[in-house]
Amino acid sequence: MNRVFVSLGSNIDSERNLREAVRRLAASCRLLAVSPVYETAPVGNTEQPNYLNAAALVETELTAAELKERVLQVIEGELGRVRTEDKNAPRTIDLDIALYGDAVLDLGPRHIPDPDILRYPHVAVPLADLAPRLRHPETGQTLAEIVRGLPDVGLRRRENIHSSGDQTTDKE
């Protein structure tokens, strides 16, 4: 089984779409934990609603490519995700593989571990909530150390989107 951290984000009907994405993810994989939700200002195109971001930890027998194509992209499509030229455009749901075990790989244009873990608190903080001592496969830093090194951009913690299962997990 592969342990995978998935980043979730939405700024169109966010609460409903995050809950529904987690429900569908749990139907396709073994859902181990879901982070608290954080409200964040949009990156890039700032003339749009704030985002809600979270992370989920799942176990699956699928490869990273299979998980992306058979589960994440299917859920995005079912929830009305429309891809445009603007990678920062508003969206119903965005599901990305942030960490796939300790693998370092490329899926088309996407790199795993997600480079945004090292850049953006809205990606790193929910992951660190789930596994603060987990080490980044490329830098060796723990997720908690990465978060401490990122700028404080005023993430606002919201309610949890899923109440069953563990809320945190630690892996050294």
Q: Clarify whether 94 is annotated catalytic.
A: yes
Phi and psi torsions of 73, nearest 5°: -70, -30
- Per the residue annotation, which of 13, 24, 30, 94 is the catalytic one? 94
- Which one is catalytic: 24, 96, 114, 129? 96
Residue 87, SS3?
coil
CA-wise closest residue to 4 among 66, 67, 59, 76: 59
Residues 6+ away with beta carbon under 8 Å from 122: 9, 38, 40, 43, 51, 53, 153, 155
* Span between the terminal Cα atoms of the chain, in Å: 18
Identity of the amino acid at 121: P
- Catalytic: which of 3, 16, 70, 81? 81
96 is catalytic: yes
Q: Which of 3, 91, 114, 129 is catalytic?
A: 91
For residue 142, the tally of other CB atoms under 10 A from its CB is 19
* Tokens 């850049």 -> residue: 119
- Catalytic annotation present for 91: yes
Helix (H) or strand (E) holding 160: strand 156-160
Catalytic residues: 81, 91, 94, 96
